[in-house]
Structure 1
Amino acid sequence: MIAMTSRSTPSPVPDRATYGFVSYLLCYILFGIFLIWTYIPRTYLEGIGLTYWPSKFTAVSIPPFLCVLFLVYNILYEGLIFINTAPFQSLDTISDSEKEKFDYLPRDAINPIEDISIINVNMTLYRSY
């Protein structure tokens, strides 16, 4: 009997597809509730029995807060990548004959930093101009 190995594919498994669809619906429902809360006056909402709602200032302040949070997150994440990247002179960036081959990369792509050949390192560091 041949054992079948699992391959990772871009198509989601049924559980992931279900969670994704529920998340998709939940986002639209919550956005609809947000719009109703934002645009309908408080007196109408209290008239149908909905008495506790946050202040309308929250409706104005949440979208800019989320935009700034998104920008700050991206800046901090990029900074964290720069902090954790080995310097160009580090021995960790030198590879040997046992390195992983990246044949799937396009011809004009930049090589991953952990797979720079020692020849390119020496040419960059010690080439006289």
Structure 2
Amino acid sequence: MLKEKAMEDPRSVNSPRRILRFSKNRRATVSFLDPDDGFGVPGDHGPKPSEVYGFVGSISTVVATAIFLVWAYVPEPWLHSVGLFYYPSRYWALAVPSYAMVTVVLAIGFYIGLNFMSTPPPTSFNTMFDEFSREPSSFVPSVEGDELPIEPISDIGINQINELMFNDLR
């Protein structure tokens, strides 16, 4: 009974021929629900370009890794038996990853060195004050009622920080 009802319903999709017929028919629309808003989303549906690039990138990475591992570890007689005679020297199987790792380590070292060079020494006043420093204002507004106005934004002085951190709390 249920199977017959599904066959009679023109919108039921239970065979590839019906799917193709619906895709050719301009009046047939399929709405996909977006889980965020719960409404049908009209228009073209398909993968976003970033999804396609990510998929192609991941597949090509796996393929390149497999080719590299075959080239680096399979003995030469096996490659010759398959018909591969022209390939790079096995020296590059070790040289390229080694050069890449040394380049990354040196880049990190240079980056840390540049940060040390651009940071002022600990004894410099530039570690406490710069062009954006704001002194607390000494203006005391008149108080009406119990509410006090919000103080303007300013830096906390080093003497207040030292007093809070290093004085004995009693």
Q: Give the TM-score band, short-chain normalised.
A: 0.5 to 0.7
Identity rate of aligned residues, in percent? 30
1:99-119 Cα offsets, whole Å, 9 max, x none, are xxxxxxxxxxxxxxxxxx362
Deviation of 1:37 (Å): 0.2
Check whether the contact 1:45–1:51 (CA below 8 A) recurs between aligned residues: yes
The answer to whether residue 87 in structure 2 is matched with residue 53 in structure 1 is: yes
List runs of 5+ in structure 1 lacking aligned partners. Answer: 1-13, 98-116, 125-129
More helix by share: 1
1:5-38 Cα offsets, whole Å, 9 max, x none, are xxxxxxxxx4333323322222221111110001
1:64 matched residue in structure 2: 98
What is the SS of the residue equivalent to 2:71?
Answer: helix
Check whether the contact 1:38–1:59 (CA below 8 A) recurs between aligned residues: yes
Instruction: Evaluate the alpha carbon distance shift between residue 83 and residue 49 of structure 1 in structure 2; reply closer, same or farther with a 3 A threshold.
Output: same
The answer to whether residue 153 in structure 2 is matched with residue 119 in structure 1 is: no
2:116 matched residue in structure 1: 82
1:96 matched residue in structure 2: 134
What is the SS of the residue equivalent to 1:35?
Answer: helix
Check whether the contact 1:94–1:118 (CA below 8 A) recurs between aligned residues: no
Deviation of 1:45 (Å): 2.2
Instruction: Evaluate the alpha carbon distance shift between residue 119 and residue 68 of structure 1 in structure 2; reply closer, same or farther with a 3 A threshold.
Output: same
Higher RCO, 1 vs 2 (CA within 8 Å, ≥6 residues apart): 1
Instruction: Evaluate the alpha carbon distance shift between residue 64 and residue 86 of structure 1 in structure 2; reply closer, same or farther with a 3 A threshold.
Output: same
**Structure 2: how far apart are the matches of 1:15 and 1:82?**
41
- The amino acid that maps onto 2:79 is L
| Structure 1 length-normalised TM | 0.52
Deviation of 1:53 (Å): 1.2
**Structure 1: how far apart are the matches of 2:159 and 2:106?**
34
1:110 matched residue in structure 2: none
Give the aligned length.
93
- The amino acid that maps onto 1:119 is G
List runs of 5+ in structure 2 lacking aligned partners. Answer: 1-47, 136-154, 163-170
**Structure 2: how far apart are the matches of 1:89 and 1:52?**
65
